[in-house]
Structure 1
Amino acid sequence: MSPCGKLFYVRVKQLNDAWAFYANCLGMATEATMLHGEEKGILVKADEETNIFLSERKHQNQTNKIVLNSDDCLEEYCRLKSRGVIFKKTPSYLSEGLSAEFSDPSGNDFIILEERNYNED
């Protein structure tokens, strides 16, 4: 992970179900790991800068909403939809760029964001 990388703690209902979703549906690299030598979890490499620690335990700094940056939101949307991901919101334009939203089986929300500058210089 790069020094400017992000690490998110995400609570899931079942590690095995989460592993299957993140690896097979999302196509993200996953690895079984232990946190502090005592907590079983899954480390997910979401993108070049973003890692997610999946655990069945609650964490003080956990989140249930993660923004994943993309160079092509429409391509990601089509790829994930073909893998069975159900989207809450289809790609739409926001002031920040083009985005689409989905949830994992545990109800954690993800936003795919293709940042765009709509101001012409």
Structure 2
Amino acid sequence: MDSHADKLSGAVQELENPDRIRQLETQVFQLQQAVTSHAVIDQAIGVIVAVGRMTPDEAWDALRETSMCTNIKLRHVAELVITWGQGGRDLAADVRCELSRRVKRQALQ
């Protein structure tokens, strides 16, 4: 069985490996991007919930389907929705049409 000192020594050696350091830096960067994207998408879901009087699950579906049908990345659609919700610029016509259609569809069910 490895002693605590052996485990610590192995961990130090692994962290001194330049390839391992690059791998960990890449993972940290990807996790930071994922956290940011998740927050943006959650905010957009909140806007759609408030405006469309939908559940968060319904708003998620509307946002996701709008992204797929317009061939625009989900995060970008979410950013557009947030900007629109803050009273910024109007939504792009294709995003507005798809999102409106999905919000109306959900509201009628």
Q: TM-score, normalised by structure 2?
A: 0.26
More strand by share: 1
Q: TM-score, normalised by structure 1?
A: 0.25
More helix by share: 2
Mark the structure with the bigger radius of gyration.
Answer: 2
